[in-house]
Amino acid sequence: MRLEVEITGKTFRSAAGETHEVLAPLKFVLSSGEVGVLIGPSGCGKSTMLRIILGLDRDFGGRVARPPEARIGMVFQEPRLLPWRSVEQNVRLAAPNVSDAKLSELFKILELDAHRRHFPGELSLGLARRVALARAFAVEPDLLVLDEPLASLDDALAGRLRDEIATLVASRPVMTLLVTHSIDDAIRLGDRLFFLSPRPARIVQEVPIAVPRAERSEAELVRIKAELAAVQLESK
Ligand SMILES: Nc1ncnc2c1ncn2[C@@H]1O[C@H](COP(=O)(O)OP(=O)(O)OP(=O)(O)O)[C@@H](O)[C@H]1O
Ligand SMILES: [Mg+2]
């Protein structure tokens, strides 16, 4: 499976009638098993690009080719849970075929066991984000799209969830697109990093990480980070 993105432009028209160019021409391909990471300044157009890639916004120039049968798991920047459904119902509605065993495993990993019967209004933002992750994972996606999924979690939990994302990605041939502001998350999870310009976003630099995810020791990560800093200095 492959995701092919070739956007020629995206503009928004404000209520006052002004046009805002949000995406410049940009192009990339993502294959099964690959994690692409989008890194760019706030407001540059990342979430807009994800909505286009998911087919939620069709008002843009260019084309996006997703495998038509691909199952999609999505974590939006806001957790977007159904407020009148419990945590467990929110996950089951998105993934009606999920087994009880799989659900229990996910709730355990994401430390949500105590919250199964709670409603979204009773959750902190960090908890709601974990429910959104459970929902995306429960779908067993072919295309996993994560818009800053680890924001507002404490470091320890973010680290554990990052490992879980890595495990999921390793366990199935999934194409993953991750938006993050964290270089640490990017180098631990990514295969290719796309650095974006301020709005209108274009890819200013694409940096592949050659070392397989499973072989990235702490020492290796330090080395990758230093290399990345050098590459970025060079490009300035
Ligand atoms: N529905 C909309 N109508 C008009 N303008 C919009 C709309 N959605 C987003 N924008 C504008 O498009 C630009 C890009 O927004 P977007 O949410 O894609 O940024 P982002 O890169 O995800 O930022 P962040 O890192 O803060 O999440 C912003 O200037 C935003 O105000
Ligand atoms: Mg965003």
Distance 77 CA to ligand 2 centre (A): 6
CA of 40 to the centre of ligand 2 (A): 10
Mutate which of 14, 22, 57 for ligand 1? The one with the most ligand atoms within 8 Å of its CB, which is 22
pTM: 0.93
115, part of any domain? yes
Whether 207 is in a domain gets the answer yes
Q: What is the pLDDT of residues 117-126, one digit of tens each?
A: 999 999 998 8
Written in H, E and C, the secondary structure of the chain is CEEEEEEEEEEEECCCCCEEEEECCEEEEEECCCEEEEECCCCCCHHHHHHHHCCCCCCCEEEEECCCCCCEEEECCCCCCCCCCCHHHHHHHHCCCCCHHHHHHHHHHCCCHHHCCCCHHHCCHHHHHHHHHHHHHHCCCCEEEEECCCCCCCHHHHHHHHHHHHHHHHHCCCEEEEECCCHHHHHHHCCEEEEECCCCECEEEEEECCCCHHHCCHHHHHHHHHHHHHHHHHCC
- Of 104, 82, 109, which Cα lies nearest the Cα of 93? 82
Structure token pair of residue 60: 């843009």
Question: Tens of pLDDT along the chain (236 residues)?
Answer: 899 999 999 999 988 989 999 999 999 999 999 999 999 999 999 999 999 999 999 999 999 999 988 999 999 998 899 999 999 999 999 999 999 999 999 999 888 999 999 999 999 988 999 999 999 999 999 999 999 999 878 888 899 889 888 988 888 889 999 999 999 999 999 999 999 999 999 999 999 999 999 899 999 999 999 988 887 777 66
Compute, in angstroms, the gap from residue 43 CA to the centroid of ligand 1.
5
> What's the gap in Å between 46 CA and the centre of ligand 2?
5
Q: What is the pLDDT of residue 236?
A: 64
Paired residues of 39 in beta bridges: 195
Identify the nearest ligand to the CA of 76 by its number: 2
Q: Is residue 14 part of a domain?
A: no
46 alpha carbon, closest ligand: 1
The answer to the question of residue 23 being in a domain is no
Q: Helix 87-94 crosses helix 125-138 at what angle (to 10 degrees)?
A: 30
Domain containing residue 112: 33-61+69-235
Ligand 1 atom nearest 13 alpha carbon: 4
**C-alpha dist (Å) from residue 185 to 87, 123, 141, 169:** 26, 25, 20, 14
Please give the Cα distance from 26 to 204 (Å, whole number). 10
**CATH code of the domain in which 118 resides:** 3.40.50.300
Q: Is residue 1 part of a domain?
A: no
And the tokens for 162?
């990052």
| Residue 48 CB–ligand 1 contact under 6 Å | yes
The number of distinct structural domains making up the chain is 1
The span from the CA of 109 to the CA of 157, in Å, is 10
Tell me whether residue 26 is in a domain: no
Residue 125's nearest CA partner among 151, 96, 156, 92 is 151
Does any ligand 1 atom lie closer than 6 A to the CB of residue 89? no
pLDDT digit string (tens) for 172-185? 889 999 999 999 99
Q: Indicate if ligand 1 lies below 6 Å from the C-beta of 197.
A: no
Neighbours of 167 (CB within 10 A): 10
* 109 part of a folded domain: yes
What is the C-alpha separation between 53 and 44, in angstroms, rounded?
16
Q: Which atom of ligand 1 is nearest to the CA of 181?
A: 25
112 Cβ contact partners less than 8 Å away, ≥ 6 residues apart: 87, 106, 127, 130, 131, 134
Task: Note whether residue 27 is domain-resident.
Answer: no
CA of 97 to the centre of ligand 2 (A): 30
